[in-house]
Amino acid sequence: MSDRRNQLVALAAALAADFATRAGEHDRANSFPVENVDKMKAAGYTALVIPEKYGGLSADLEDFALCQEQLAQGCAATTIAINMHLFGIGSMVERATGRPQDELFFDAIARGRQILGGGISEPETGGDWGYFATRARRDGETYVLNGRKTFTSLSPVIDLFMVMTTIEGSNPPAAGTFVVPRGTPGFELVETWDAMGMRATASHDLVIKDVRVPAIAMAESRPIGPVNDQAISLFAWFGISVAATYTGVAIAALKFAKEFAGRLKPLTMPRTIKYLPGVQFAIAEAEALIAQSRALYLGVARDYIGDRDSFKGETGLARVVMPKYVATNNAIRAVDYCMEVVGAHGMLKKFPMERYYRDVRAGPNHPLSNARARELLGKAALGVGLAETPRW
């Protein structure tokens, strides 16, 4: 790795070591790690993917993946939460055209330490993106937004809400992304604290009722349906970073399982359990699954950086969706093998394994969900268009 990349990964590792000391406490207490966000702001991590000229750290997509992989080994909830801030910014940087508003936005995030958060997932749409139940209605020089979003990670510290909507009356149908400041009338955060894993993300519901914003608040719009460069860019930054985050959880679980196996010696055995064939085989399976995932998402990240123009249409989308599909499912299997090694001790709250076990299960539920990912990958491989009807 280059010196710059080593420095970025070392920064993520230092933050992870600190975050790990509080991860279990926040998970048990249903509390959001505000102090972790403050430390990331101070270290510049919240501007990881923004160019240095705006005050950022200039991480590319591969840097981003490696850093998130490292950070997740300390606190998965903090990592997936800040991922929802960073991935969209990375895509915006990649597609920036030098407009004055772009520069103002990047400066606000980097030097102003602002946090961007999502209004993306919805009860009606599940784990898919594209057509949103949340609506934006044009009214003169303003838009009026209405809807409800779920899984609004980072909600206690979001400064700018990124709200994805369907634009009413658009022809052809279009989706719009609005950037709306915290405190805008009509926003209400409804605390849920109801998740099995990734509990400390504070992924609450966001109720949007007659929120009125100026037309300039629409950061971008795109037609609904066709797979364009914008969609591929978003999924590249999202899918690869999510893949790295959940692989980081699996790496942490594997480290714990190996350490545990090296020190547990049952009374009836002459040596520790790491000499048992079953333990060795389980560790081998976990090692192989993690290696497969890392090779795939880091390889796709390098390909994307090297030749972004080769990622076109539905086949291009499939290429950036596959790493997340493979890695999140591999992470679950790897952690299951680690839990097998640790045994009943893995059920105890005093050890982190049960948290890894719960946290990693959130992975396949991020877009594209398993079923939608399989449909995309299968249709792309068979040359069947996503828009072909009948669908099945």
Across residues 97-126, what is the average pLDDT?
Answer: 86
pLDDT of residue 129: 59
Least confident of 190-194, 197-201, 203-207, 286-290: 190-194
**259 falls in which pLDDT band (50, 70, 90)?**
very high
Residue 143: phi and psi, rounded to 5, are: -120, 145
pLDDT of residue 225: 74
**182 falls in which pLDDT band (50, 70, 90)?**
very high
Token code pair at residue 13: 């590792």
Reply yes or no on whether the pLDDT at 318 is more than 80: yes
Percent of the chain with pLDDT over 90: 84
Residue 32 exposure: Cα atoms within 13 Å on the Cβ side: 20
Closest alpha carbon to 356 in 74, 44, 25: 74
Across residues 346-371, what is the average pLDDT?
Answer: 95
Highest mean pLDDT among 3-12, 130-139, 163-172, 199-208: 3-12
- The Cα–Cα gap between 35 and 210 comes to 33
Name, in order, each residue with C-beta under 8 angstroms of 348's C-beta and a sequence gap of 6 or more: 354
* Largest Cα span, the chain: 80
Q: Would you list the DSSP string of 112-136?
A: S---EEEE--BTTTBT--SS-SSEE
pLDDT of residue 128: 53
Q: Would you list the DSSP string of 18-53?
A: HHHHHHHHHHHHT---HHHHHHHHHHTGGGTTS-GG
Instruction: Dump strand ranges (E) for the chain.
Output: 116-119, 135-139, 142-152, 160-167, 174-181, 187-190, 204-214, 218-223
Q: Would you list the DSSP string of 287-307?
A: HHHHHHHHHHHHHHHHHHHH-
**223 falls in which pLDDT band (50, 70, 90)?**
confident
- The Cα–Cα gap between 195 and 212 comes to 31
Reply yes or no on whether the pLDDT at 90 is more than 90: yes
Predicted TM-score (pTM) of the model is 0.95
Reply yes or no on whether the pLDDT at 227 is more than 90: no
Q: Are 69 and 323 in contact (CB under 8 A)?
A: no
Across residues 224-252, what is the average pLDDT?
Answer: 93
pLDDT of residue 32: 96
Tell me if residue 202 falls in helix, strand or coil.
coil
